Amino acid sequence: MKTINDEQFTAWSRGLRDSDRQAYTRVFEATYDALYRYAWYFTHDEETTYDVLQDVFLKLWQVRERIDPARSLKALLYQMVRNTALNHIRHARRHAADALDEMVIEPASSSPSESSFDVQALDDHIRGWIDELPTRRREAFLLSRYQGLSHAEIADVMNLAPKTVNNHIVLALQHLRTRLLAHQPDLVTP
């Protein structure tokens, strides 16, 4: 998704607004993979993830005439995935208010091993340190670092002030830097 430039997205926005099914298909093909991962981040369940994707793309077609080409289509898609996924979780859990709370206590997906400094081990460490971040900070960081969203887009998706997104990313990087310094200082100092 990173490789698609903003002009392309704007062109697709226009196409969608004009009910261009080819533009719709292109959007689907270009984005489902990244959106699938993002939805899975919330659902942790393949079946639910497919449901979320289907709901989002059906909805996208339903609202196509109201799409604002000035607004990032990417941000719109991510926001729809986010809201739909959280709704699915809420329904699944019955306890609506718990849906977001649940995310707070996400497990460290891999417990960092203590020895060897090879790349794989370092990646595991970093993954563990990313897991240590508070939920929303981690989500903002994932969207920025791995999904290639701009800060303005992240603010749009997560319904945050752009300044807050900035702070989240800077604090996330500072956290990683602190951990890296303690772990292997030569990696972060020139």
Cα–Cα distances (Å) from 132 to 78, 91, 128, in that order, read: 23, 27, 7
CA distance 129 to 149: 21
Could you say whether residue 174 binds other proteins (CB under 8 A)? yes
Give the start-end residues of each E strand in the chain.
none
Q: Which stretch binds other proteins (CB under 8 A): 68-76, 79-87, 88-96, 173-181?
A: 173-181
Q: How far is the CB of 50 from other proteins (least distance, A)?
A: 6
CB 168 within 8 A of CB 140: yes
DSSP alpha helix (H) spans, 63-132? 73-93, 98-104, 119-131
Q: How far is the CB of 69 from other proteins (least distance, A)?
A: 19
Could you say whether residue 78 binds other proteins (CB under 8 A)? no
- Kindly tell me which residue out of 10, 32, 69, 71 binds other proteins, with binding defined by CB under 8 A: 32
Q: How far is the CB of 6 from other proteins (least distance, A)?
A: 12
CA distance 146 to 37: 11
CB 157 within 8 A of CB 149: yes
Contacts to other proteins by CB under 8 A: 21, 24-25, 28-29, 32-33, 36-38, 40-41, 44, 46, 49-51, 53-54, 57-58, 61, 100-102, 104-109, 111, 119, 122-127, 130-132, 134-136, 138, 142, 144-148, 150-151, 162-163, 166-167, 169-170, 173-174, 176-177, 180, 187-188, 190
